[in-house]
Amino acid sequence: MPRWWRTPTGELLVETRRFEPRLQGKTPVPGPDGAPITDASDCWLLDADGRAMRFFLWRLASVEDELIAIAYRVSDGRLVQLYCGERFGEEPATTERVEIEGLVEIPAGERTDLPDVDAAIDAYWAPIRARREAEQSAQRDRMAAFEAALGGLPQGDPVRLSFRYGEGGVEIWAGDRRVWADDTYPHRDCDLFADLRRLARERLGERLESFEVVLASDGEAMRYHGE
């Protein structure tokens, strides 16, 4: 049965999982004192109406030469973040940061009228999933349109493409002719360029002599040849 707490401002904190976090290779995550953490918790913060507001979940990631682990623990009325960094060739070290203070645990016998945490979590993720699915669908349409544009290029001739910034969006040019444009991409243009370049390589093969980025600010071109 999950543990619940009330915050000083009337929200609810619920523990959805309790576990012993481990780094890659199954090495225990050390606490600030160096002892393995054995009581990490995944938690969600709900408002007074039972809507999920924020999550505190276990994460493991790498940045350059550092492995990063983030865990949370509820102890002595506080929700604490435990941030562990392990650089290559060094021992992992963990720092502590208080996220919420003044937590009061709700006794098991008083948890009868608490919100449905699973429903609250599903409701939290639903619009994020819908937005991601819409973006994926739009990206499929975007790439299909670019692939069709590649198919319309003269067959058998070498191709030199350029990625340019037009009014409100990006454009692909073949020589002096614009062959494709898009003004709906919601993320970094460099990510879109990488996808377009990969598709151009797949479809054109050795016919693709170059694919350059033309920076509108100064006209500089950065050329990317096939790898």
Which residue ranges make up each domain of the chain? 4-115, 127-224
pLDDT given for residue 226 in this prediction: 38
CA distance 74 to 44: 12
Tell me how many degrees the CA angle 195-214-185 measures, rounded to the nearest 5.
40
CA distance 100 to 124: 20
- Cα separations (Å) of 11 from 15, 114, 118, 125, 142? 13, 11, 17, 19, 43
Residues 8-36: pLDDT tens digits? Answer: 999 999 999 999 999 876 789 999 999 99
pLDDT given for residue 168 in this prediction: 65
Phi, psi of 88 (to 5 degrees): -55, 125
Predicted TM-score (pTM) of this structure: 0.76
Predicted confidence pLDDT, tens digits, the chain (227 residues): 789 999 999 999 999 999 999 987 678 999 999 999 999 999 999 999 999 999 999 999 988 888 999 999 999 999 999 999 988 878 889 999 999 999 999 998 888 889 999 999 999 999 999 999 999 999 999 999 999 999 999 888 899 999 988 776 889 999 889 999 998 887 777 788 899 999 999 999 999 999 988 865 444 444 443 33
- Cα separations (Å) of 203 from 63, 119, 160, 163, 164? 33, 45, 14, 17, 20
